[in-house]
Amino acid sequence: MIVDAHLHVFRPAAVRRRAVDELAPAGRDAPARDLLGLMAAAGVDRAVLVPLGPEDEYVAEARAAHARRFAAVAVAGPEIQGRRPGPGPLEALRARLAQGFSGLRTQWLGEPGRPLAGSPMLPVLRELAERGLPLWSYLPPGQLPLLRELPGTVPDLRIVLNHLGFAPHGMRVDAHGRPYFEDPFPPPVVETVLELARHPNAYLMFSGQYALSREEPPYSDLDGVVRAFADAYGADRMLWASDYPWTRDVPGYAELLGLAAHALPGLSAAERAALHGGTALSLFPELATKEP
């Protein structure tokens, strides 16, 4: 079974409320029906939907309408992070989980320079660990010290480092309407990714190459860092993902399934199966038990 472990579906802002920016202008459309067609053509069986931001009504609707095909990860806004007055981080998290979400993505863990143990988000991280739900980590450089504290503070939390562990900064939008980043792997990022590999509950997403490489597919300029990361994590802790819709037309959805064969040619059939779906199914077991 092949699982696309991270992608985005959304409608134009006039149809479903969502954030609007240069990457996702108001009229841009990435409906679930388009994704399902691409998955069918490429032989992809399941997918994990991630909203563009906390405005996640459409993703919740798509997951409910196609519960046999989709799992979903919510995005932490200020309420869940404990940075805005309201009912409280735990209540905000539980409201999202009640809508069918099976994990949480965040770009903030706590105030830089302060220990994670004092963060208002700590109860949320512990709740995820207790429920066996993963944290999708997409943390900017200033948050990396807190990320390094996370395994020791909440050891049972399963942490998925998005997009090869890249720490987002300085995003631009390229001519194809995709995110693009310069200098994606400075030493602190590489060191953090490799350090976290020692923690058995840390996972690495095999995705985002299109935004991090200076080359066309198969993105050979990333081979060195990808292979170092794969050696550290192993295929059973790596997850393939398309990052649709940014990759829909360039390089093309199905093209991404061939990247592992180039960058990691030594994988066995079992290891490739883990990377392309088995690892994701271990994090979202509900997808493994559903009929197609």
Model confidence pLDDT, tens digit, residues 93-135: 999 999 999 999 999 999 999 999 999 999 999 999 999 999 9
What is the β-pairing status of strands 70-72 and 74-75? unpaired
Measured CA to CA, the distance from residue 246 to residue 7 in angstroms comes to: 9
Beta bridge partners of 46: 3
pLDDT attached to residue 87: 79
Structure pTM?
0.96
- Tens digits of per-residue pLDDT, 209-226? 999 999 999 999 999 999
Domain extent for 147: 3-288
Give the CA-trace dihedral at 89, 238, 244, 151, to 10 degrees. Answer: 20
Measured CA to CA, the distance from residue 241 to residue 203 in angstroms comes to: 13
From the CB of residue 156, how many other CB atoms can be counted at a distance below 10 Å? 11
Residues 6+ apart with CB under 8 A from 68: 290, 291, 292
Measured CA to CA, the distance from residue 226 to residue 68 in angstroms comes to: 32
Backbone torsions φ then ψ of 136, nearest 5 degrees: -85, 110
Output the average pLDDT for the chain.
Answer: 96
pLDDT attached to residue 290: 57
Residues of the chain with pLDDT under 70: 290-292
- Please state, in angstroms and as integers, the Cα–Cα distance from residue 176 to each residue in 5, 11, 248, following that order: 22, 19, 10
Structural domains of the chain, count:
1
Q: State which amino acid sits at residue 91.
A: E
The CATH number that applies at residue 90 is 3.20.20.140
Measured CA to CA, the distance from residue 232 to residue 12 in angstroms comes to: 40
Q: State which amino acid sits at residue 221.
A: D
